[in-house]
């Protein structure tokens, strides 16, 4: 009995743990894609259902994982933001306030 226990102890010491299975190239690529899509979703500031939809589209390759201009804003949104900045600066320069500022901003933002 002692011989059996000694043999098992010796066997347990000499058997090395099995190495972790190597990841396939497909797994690594998918993991990298997940990281890219997750970073893009964060940059774009999407959350909830919109984030789930974005991640689904991004991982499927229907949406590029690169950020769009202005941290996710479309060109139209970027143009509107620029227009808002310009109109605000002009209103401040003219020292407009109250109803006069509201009327000016409405006219300026609509392109008038």
Q: What is the pLDDT of residue 29?
A: 80
Q: What is the pLDDT of residue 70?
A: 43
b (16+ CB within 10 A) / e for 79-100: eeeeeeeebeeebeeeeeeeee
User: pLDDT tens digits for 6-16?
Assistant: 666 666 655 55
User: pLDDT tens digits for 68-89?
Assistant: 444 455 677 777 888 888 888 8
Q: What is the pLDDT of residue 69?
A: 41
Q: What is the pLDDT of residue 45?
A: 81
Q: What is the pLDDT of residue 18?
A: 62
User: pLDDT tens digits for 14-51?
Assistant: 555 666 666 666 678 888 888 888 888 888 888 888 88
| Class of residue 41 by CB neighbours under 10 A (exposed 0-12, middle 13-18, buried 19+) | buried
């Amino acid at each position: 009995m002692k011989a059996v226990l000694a043999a098992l102890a010796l066997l347990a010491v000499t058997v090395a743990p099995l190495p972790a299975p190597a990841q396939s190239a497909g797994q690594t690529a998918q993991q990298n894609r997940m990281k890219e899509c997750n970073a893009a979703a964060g940059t774009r500031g999407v959350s909830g259902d919109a984030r789930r939809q974005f991640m689904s589209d991004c991982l499927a390759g229907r949406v590029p994982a690169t950020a769009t201009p202005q941290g996710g804003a479309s060109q139209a949104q970027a143009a509107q933001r620029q227009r808002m900045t310009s109109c605000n600066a002009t209103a401040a320069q003219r020292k407009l306030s109250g109803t006069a500022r509201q009327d000016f901003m409405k006219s300026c933002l609509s392109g008038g």
